[in-house]
Structure 1
Amino acid sequence: MDSEDISTNTSGNTSFGEVLEARLSRRGVMRTGTVVAAAGFFGAAVAAPSAVAGPADAAGPAAKHGRPPKPLLGFKAVAPNTADAITVPEGYTAKVLIPWGTPLRSNGPAWRKDASNTAAEQAQQIGMHHDGMSFFPDRGFFGSNRGLLVLNHEYVDTVLLYADGDAVITQEKVDKALAAHGVSVVAIEKRHSGWRLVDSRYNRRVTGKTPVLFSGPVSGAHPALAANGPAQGTLNNCSNGHTPWGTYVACEENWNGYFGTTQVGWTPTPEQARYGVSAAALPYRWHTVDKRFDVAENPNELNRFGWVVEIDPRDPHSPPVKRTALGRIKHEGATFTESRGRVVVYTGDDQNGEYIYKFVSSAPWRLLRAQRKSPLDHGTLYVGKFNDDGTGTWIPLVHGQGALTVANGWADQADVLIRTRRAADAVGATKLDRPEWVAVNPKNKDVYVTLTNGSGNGGAVNPRAANPYGHIIKWREAHGDNTSTSFEWDIFVLAGDPAYDATVTLGADAIFGSPDGLAFDDDGRMWIETDISNSVQNKVGSYDHIGNNQMLVADPNTGEIRRFLVGPRGAEITGWTITPDQRTIFVNVQHPGEATPFWGAAPTPATPTAVSNWPDFDPTGRPRSATVVITKNDGGIIGS
């Protein structure tokens, strides 16, 4: 079982399953298979074997005047499969751009397929396990053909990263793993032969050893951040975000797994346990050779992680800044939108039974920037509460308000932000089934979030007694204002396979499980990426009809879903970004070849290709995470 599936939330807060169960019984909502739609919020719902219901009042002016909305999906869906390949629709081409180990510059250290690159060499190469990603186009006419690609490297596979595996941990191996984590910034351009990485002064790596700054209510001088050695590095960067002012944010997710201890009798404090810290630190075991990660000897190092990290891709000398006003959790991502001139940031806390958060700047972001203030340092952090009548509220996590008082043990705002999970517990937020990526529809500002799966959190798990497939929920902020403190919510779609869940009616073109990545293009297509755990990927009796992890596209106007891409064996489909002209998309493929019981024996240093050999298919090589470039053969808009 993945660590994200195990809840550390022992609060008595209401679970989303309990909320939804109550709502279904009270409101008499219309249900069609996996579709759950409220008459008020969603309007008249429709369902088809490969479709989900969408909000009639969100379909745009054409629908309101009696004309059907123009369909957004024009490709033929690809079928589920278990091939060790990238499968895209007819009329499309997918090419590998920057796999793990690609040198940042043409004169940099070359990739060694036996994994013998040193830590110093890895720091000059593309990192491992690509995840969240954004494209920053050049200004002007050539912006869709040239720009900076910025991407996260979430974690490392310790069997594939080292030539001799991870049976023995050394400082060099720790350093190499730290160098494979973090963020890559690379210049890319499109030529006649396609997209390629080019030499640029902007090309750089941010790793687990890069010096970092802290800004906001928790300053770098805060006693809780006083650890052995200077503040450095960012780890386990899952999803991401890009700001209206042109910077990138990386989001630290499962940072707890890097810390452990061999000290006999050590047990985590309640605060540490709330974030899942344990002595084992599997699979890394860095603490056995690097005391920076020994939680008994250097406990405050923990507090330097769990933040949103801002990086300026066009200033290669600027240090990454951890923006503490957005709270310390296991950030899955940070999705930006604007309302009344203010910046609004949504983020999920990716663990079973955790919460959704929203940050709203205190003033219009342009005004704050003109005052030489960061909009991410000045504002209010909220946590979501979903009521059983389909309404919801955003509860402020502000010191001195509600339960967050000195009398209740909260020292100040910095304390609230360092212990964000506990603060959310205290104010009565609603537990969710692994809240992951958030996406905002550019056409109407409706907000969607993927809930990958869950165990029930103390009540019925959504409409089902168990939720192995996950679902997507949606809400509309009051008056269409994303700074509002109230909203209406409903289910967009419940994922699953009708062969194993009688409530599911998704057809072969649309069945999927464990939704994770989520994004909109400018035309309003919603791109859904899946993260079926390798423990159940292709498993007979639950996921055998769904196949490998995939990417689908939904039309929120018509409710239709079609499968656009299927990934290689053992892989997750992660980051997504698009050029301004919408004629190129970049998709990340993470951890191909990772141990998957369906494919038999796990990879070893002697058999690294036991599950997958993508993308090189070199019999003496190993699988590599990579960014894939997808274009339409006729040069048209992707998905149309």
Structure 2
Amino acid sequence: MKGLRHPRNDRTLNPSGNPSIHDVIDAVDAGRRRFVQGVTASASLATAGGLTLSGLVQTVQAAPVPAGQGFPGIGFESIPAALAPLPDAVRVPAGYTVEAFVAWGDPIVAGGVAFAPDASNTATEQARQFGAHCDGMYLFPFTGAGGQATPDRGVLVVNNEYTHEEILFPDGQVGASGYGIAKTRKSQAAHGVSVVEARRLNGRWTAVKNSPYGRRITANTPMRIAGPAAGHALLQTVEYAITDAGSSATGLTTDGRVAQGTINNCGNGVTPWGTFLTCEENWNGNFGSTAALPSATSGDTGKLYNRYGVTASGNGYRWHTTDPRFDLSTNPNETNLFGWIVEIDPYDPKSKPVKRTALGRFKHESAQYVVDAANRLGVYMGDDERNEYIYKFVAAGAFDPLNRAANRDLLDTGVLYVARFDADLTGRWIPLLPETLGTDGVALRHNPNFAGADDAEVLAKILIKARMAGDAVGATMMDRPEWTGARPRIGGYQQVELYCTLTNNNRRGSTPVTATTPAANAADGSTTAGSARPAVDAANPRANNLYGHVIRWRENGASVLATTFTWDIFVQAGDSATTKTPKSQYEGNIVDTPAGSADFGAPDGLWFDPFGRLWVQTDQAGNAQGDWVNIGANCMVCADPNTGEARRFLTAPPNAEVTGIAMSADGRALFVGIQHPGEDAPASNPQQTSSWPASQWPLRADGVTPLPFGRPRSSVVVITKDDGGIIGT
């Protein structure tokens, strides 16, 4: 994910020296770079009437994409790309209606006040309002008679990733009023997670303003740390008393089992027992230092800062200048409390969020669970940085579908794995355990980065330094692994099939290669953050991967316990009308009719709806200029996982990202996030490129309440089918 104050992630932070697999890719026949479907898939296609890629390509645009192999088909036509000059609106296909649901600054907690169009709301007010820059989300339904999900009411939990400081305050970050603790506190209050009760009344969805379920979880909300790393010295920090007026050190040190807040909450996941998993992504940019930081070779602290991209200046935020909790010169371990998966119970407003350390610490983008036929639980995760890794966590215990309480701590014990993709279209999950051998033949317990008094301490260090552990064991560097999605059933046969969006990588195959910009990632975790320039390989086959791709794999034995898998590239995104050369490097292989009608680039959000349709959301500049002149604004497409055929369903306002998606229990309402419309606008002219959503809806869905005009606002929209049918049919 991105934004004005959000790292562009165009720098590699992976310094391992893992051997690239580019030296063996030439031995692989291009014709073999397709997924090995096997007997099950072939039989399923035959049963479905012989659906073939060539057959689907010959269909006319207006014809629905047929059903088959556990896929229900697509029943709408692609809408045109949003090209310059961009409409300041969200567009959807004919037969659908899109409405505003909730926007930054809307009151969602009892006692909340309305959004002030001049951004004059205080930090205290913001803490009762919907947060900034919405991202991953999920709608948790209430249950009715017989335990059935209620289609008209639920709790929508939404991540609030970051803040655009120039429009968050009336005069910008450092305008006439300067920058002080009041601005820091408002920025912190706009981060985190928003919990909103959603109700459908008379066919219209509304956000309940005074619901007892309404809740804001911010950068200062108390949390618990659990799992193998809890209590480790690297998680022990200066204790502060936090008030609106500032953060005051108490003179004590925490025990490494408590944390304050969650920030840069990007993609998400859920658990099969009904809790929300929020993913801490670019948290490093919120920290800074009023003194020089330790060097990259000065022990745990310096190496960790170096490996995770922590700098003295931060990334656009100024929290460390007013809040000593974020000043690394006075509180050096605070960064280690971020970069985790945080579990939140949406149904219990008084519950304390829990940071689950067993799932590893990195720039988490999403967390997709799979429960296999044996009720074993796996969680699949991407680390959103160029040249980072794909991980999975396998719980030690089995999921109990009949006892919610029995699963409450299931994420605290298990094994974290990192993926290696080989050029023969097979892969391996490498366990990150003390006994695992690195590429140098030395067990991680004897690696200086992880050595400890016992294996419990070694494991804690491995989890805290998950990126460095991936370096040591030879994981495959990927082109920004973001959202993961699961398709657990295919054609009636049980499978475990995963997908992951790889957004882009302008460092892949680039030059120069020097001592400070290495061609590969050093296994000892010592290379400066952002310096690697790896060669192309089978899983990441394009140099300067401008438009990105989607990779998928199947676990051998249809079990999350598998340590091996088979894989292919599901789609390479691109621009069919590109004039860049060589054209094959940039045009992609999207299946659409007519050709080019559903072109997209920079795939980010990825989600299977309950009916088996695959939805992909994009994150690029969003201005329909330069490399995006033909693709246009960011969009959301719906794809057939069997053939890759795609149709464009939604386009975004100017400079906005499409991110976050959730569906009502009956499939008749789709909630979608529109993040940072009008991004890059200055404080002096917040509406320079967009006034959305007010530009599209002067009144709310009730037709009476005005939508405040004044500056663009990240929002969640709700989409329904005019005939009342299921979305996508």
Using structure 1 for the length normalisation, give the TM-score. Answer: 0.91
Question: CA 1:145/1:568 → structure 2, altered by over 3 Å: closer, same or farther?
Answer: same
Partners of 1:442 and 1:522 within 8 A in 2: no
1:88 aligns with 2:92: yes
1:583 aligns with 2:668: yes
Report what 1:514 is aligned to: 602
1:335 to 368, 372, 383: 368
Report what 1:26 is aligned to: 27
**Which stretch of the first structure deviates more once superposed, 277-286 or 102-111?**
102-111
**Which stretch of the first structure deviates more once superposed, 105-114 or 268-277?**
105-114
How far residue 99 of structure 1 moved from its aligned partner, in angstroms, is: 0.2
Report what 1:562 is aligned to: 647
Task: Tell me which amino acid in the other structure corresponds to 1:459.
Answer: A
How far residue 373 of structure 1 moved from its aligned partner, in angstroms, is: 5.7
SS in structure 2 at match of 1:622: coil
Partners of 1:237 and 1:252 within 8 A in 2: yes
Taking the aligned partners of 1:319 and 1:450, their CA distance within structure 2 comes to 31
Partners of 1:267 and 1:279 within 8 A in 2: no
Partners of 1:266 and 1:296 within 8 A in 2: no
How far residue 435 of structure 1 moved from its aligned partner, in angstroms, is: 0.2
Partners of 1:80 and 1:546 within 8 A in 2: yes
How far residue 288 of structure 1 moved from its aligned partner, in angstroms, is: 1.1
How far residue 348 of structure 1 moved from its aligned partner, in angstroms, is: 0.2
Partners of 1:94 and 1:628 within 8 A in 2: yes
2:18 to 9, 13, 30: 13
**Which stretch of the first structure deviates more once superposed, 340-349 or 258-267?**
258-267
Q: Deviations over 1:477-536 (max 9, x none)?
A: 1022232110001111100102226223542322000000000012211000000135xx
**Which stretch of the first structure deviates more once superposed, 378-387 or 438-447?**
438-447
Task: Tell me which amino acid in the other structure corresponds to 2:628.
Answer: Y
Report what 2:34 is aligned to: 37
Taking the aligned partners of 1:513 and 1:328, their CA distance within structure 2 comes to 28
**Counterparts in 2 of 1:129-208, with a 5 A limit?**
129-140=133-144, 143-167=150-174, 168-192=178-202, 194-198=204-208, 199-208=210-219
How far residue 57 of structure 1 moved from its aligned partner, in angstroms, is: 6.1
Taking the aligned partners of 2:185 and 2:643, their CA distance within structure 1 comes to 50
Report what 1:453 is aligned to: 504
Taking the aligned partners of 1:359 and 1:383, their CA distance within structure 2 comes to 9
1:62 aligns with 2:48: yes
Report what 1:358 is aligned to: 392
Question: CA 1:415/1:634 → structure 2, altered by over 3 Å: closer, same or farther?
Answer: same
Q: Deviations over 1:294-349 (max 9, x none)?
A: 11221100110000000001111111000000000000011111012111100000
Question: CA 1:106/1:232 → structure 2, altered by over 3 Å: closer, same or farther?
Answer: closer
Q: Deviations over 1:578-600 (max 9, x none)?
A: 112211110000001102xxxxx
Question: CA 1:106/1:58 → structure 2, altered by over 3 Å: closer, same or farther?
Answer: farther
Partners of 1:442 and 1:520 within 8 A in 2: no
1:112 aligns with 2:102: no
How far residue 423 of structure 1 moved from its aligned partner, in angstroms, is: 0.6
Report what 1:229 is aligned to: 239
How far residue 41 of structure 1 moved from its aligned partner, in angstroms, is: 3.9
Taking the aligned partners of 1:163 and 1:563, their CA distance within structure 2 comes to 37
Unpaired runs of at least 5, structure 1 = 45-54, 596-602
2:720 to 614, 631, 639: 631
1:406 aligns with 2:456: no
How far residue 56 of structure 1 moved from its aligned partner, in angstroms, is: 4.8
SS in structure 1 at match of 2:125: helix
SS in structure 1 at match of 2:412: coil
Partners of 2:110 and 2:212 within 8 A in 1: no
Partners of 1:41 and 1:488 within 8 A in 2: no
Task: Tell me which amino acid in the other structure corresponds to 1:512.
Answer: F
Size of the alignment, in residue pairs? 610
Q: Deviations over 1:340-368 (max 9, x none)?
A: 21111000000000000000111202299
Taking the aligned partners of 1:318 and 1:58, their CA distance within structure 2 comes to 45
Partners of 1:550 and 1:566 within 8 A in 2: yes
SS in structure 1 at match of 2:534: coil
Fraction of identical pairs, as percent: 46
Question: CA 1:58/1:594 → structure 2, altered by over 3 Å: closer, same or farther?
Answer: farther
Taking the aligned partners of 2:43 and 2:724, their CA distance within structure 1 comes to 33
Partners of 2:383 and 2:389 within 8 A in 1: yes
Taking the aligned partners of 2:606 and 2:49, their CA distance within structure 1 comes to 25
How far residue 637 of structure 1 moved from its aligned partner, in angstroms, is: 1.1
Taking the aligned partners of 2:444 and 2:345, their CA distance within structure 1 comes to 36
How far residue 441 of structure 1 moved from its aligned partner, in angstroms, is: 1.1
How far residue 42 of structure 1 moved from its aligned partner, in angstroms, is: 7.6
Question: CA 1:264/1:13 → structure 2, altered by over 3 Å: closer, same or farther?
Answer: closer
Question: CA 1:620/1:614 → structure 2, altered by over 3 Å: closer, same or farther?
Answer: closer
Taking the aligned partners of 1:260 and 1:492, their CA distance within structure 2 comes to 40
Partners of 2:109 and 2:212 within 8 A in 1: no
1:384 to 404, 419, 425: 419
Partners of 1:338 and 1:344 within 8 A in 2: yes
**Counterparts in 2 of 1:404-553, with a 5 A limit?**
404-409=443-448, 410=450, 411=452, 412-444=458-490, 445-454=496-505, 455-456=507-508, 457-460=533-536, 462-500=540-578, 502-503=583-584, 504=587, 505-506=589-590, 507-533=595-621, 537-540=623-626, 542-553=627-638
2:678 to 566, 576, 593: 593
Task: Tell me which amino acid in the other structure corresponds to 2:384.
Answer: D
Task: Tell me which amino acid in the other structure corresponds to 2:534.
Answer: G
Taking the aligned partners of 2:123 and 2:610, their CA distance within structure 1 comes to 40
Unpaired runs of at least 5, structure 2 = 56-65, 241-258, 297-301, 453-457, 491-495, 509-532, 699-707
Taking the aligned partners of 1:57 and 1:126, their CA distance within structure 2 comes to 49
Taking the aligned partners of 2:50 and 2:312, their CA distance within structure 1 comes to 58
How far residue 285 of structure 1 moved from its aligned partner, in angstroms, is: 1.6
**Which stretch of the first structure deviates more once superposed, 197-206 or 94-103?**
197-206
Report what 1:50 is aligned to: none
Using structure 2 for the length normalisation, give the TM-score. Answer: 0.80
Q: Deviations over 1:248-267 (max 9, x none)?
A: 11000001001111314754
Report what 2:514 is aligned to: none
Taking the aligned partners of 2:18 and 2:575, their CA distance within structure 1 comes to 30
2:221 to 210, 217, 234: 210
How far residue 472 of structure 1 moved from its aligned partner, in angstroms, is: 0.3
Partners of 1:416 and 1:423 within 8 A in 2: yes
How far residue 228 of structure 1 moved from its aligned partner, in angstroms, is: 1.5
Question: CA 1:594/1:458 → structure 2, altered by over 3 Å: closer, same or farther?
Answer: same
Taking the aligned partners of 1:43 and 1:27, their CA distance within structure 2 comes to 22
Question: CA 1:240/1:265 → structure 2, altered by over 3 Å: closer, same or farther?
Answer: closer
1:607 to 656, 661, 685: 685
Partners of 1:128 and 1:180 within 8 A in 2: yes
1:302 aligns with 2:342: no
Partners of 1:178 and 1:207 within 8 A in 2: yes
